Amino acid sequence: MKKQIPNIITSLNLLCGITAVLFIVSGDLITASFFVFAGIFFDFFDGLAARLLHAQSAIGLQLDSLADMITSGVVPALVMVQLLSLATTGTYLDISHIVSTDSWNVSLAMYVPFIGLLIAIASAYRLAKFNVDTRQTSGFIGLPTPANTLLILSLPLLLHFQSSEVLQRIILNKWFLIGLTLLSCLLLNAEIKLFALKFKTWDFKTNWFKYIFLLISVVTLFLLKFLAIPILILFYILLSLVLPKK
């Protein structure tokens, strides 16, 4: 039973992702976001539990990727679809309207939101590479899918909780959203080495940059709230790039 604890935690991640999908397709991106936060929380602790309980397994690895594909692959793609729909048509996507309407009379703008689905494809490819890439045992090559998910989810949260005229003009600009979609697909699979927040030891000398990143993250989140998320992800990438490569 002890060896199944990490898989149970991973399954909770999957459950959160599936629940988030239901809220997204109904147009409730905010509730979906909090389910995703819970899913990412479980995603972090399933690996930690596996290491502490010495319960790593091939099945656990595959289950983890399958859960991540939903929570950190399908979910951000659908959020981007809904944001693009809001930016181009003024409302969230109603797929039944497209299906029931004469295809010749449907505006091309109705299909723009589907560009967001590229994130799901890029996430799937990134997760598949991670499972077979022996270089990613202590760090990452390319932006991890949970980090990319947080980046995408920060947009509806900013619109809802920290809305301003400037933010609305930026976030609800279709070209900004299309550009961000393509950028996230690129970052997910880029050959850039990024550190992982995994602690083999707790000494400061070995992990100083992780402690600094966590401290800055806490302070920035306290001061800027959801606006801190894209800033911290950019900082995470820049910090990884300037760290000496091992």
**What local confidence, expressed as pLDDT, does residue 103 receive?**
52
| Distance separating alpha carbons of residues 175 and 165, to the nearest angstrom | 17
Contact between 68 and 76 (Cβ < 8 Å): no
Q: pLDDT 10s per residue in the chain (246 long)?
A: 777 888 889 999 999 999 999 999 999 999 999 999 999 999 888 777 777 777 677 787 889 899 999 999 999 999 999 999 999 988 888 766 655 555 545 566 678 999 999 999 999 999 999 888 877 767 889 999 999 999 999 999 999 999 899 999 999 999 999 999 999 999 999 999 998 887 666 777 778 888 899 999 999 999 999 999 999 999 999 999 988 765
Taking the domains of the chain in order of start, what are their residue ranges? Answer: 2-193
* Phi, psi (deg, nearest 5) at residue 245: -80, 135
Q: Would you tell me how many other CB atoms lie within 10 Å of the CB of residue 21?
A: 19
- The per-residue DSSP string of 215-244 comes to HHHHHHHHHHGGGHHHHHHHHHHHHHHHSP
Which tokens go with 143? 């932006």
Domain 2-193 sits in CATH at: 1.20.120
**What local confidence, expressed as pLDDT, does residue 60 receive?**
78
Which tokens go with 181? 């979609």
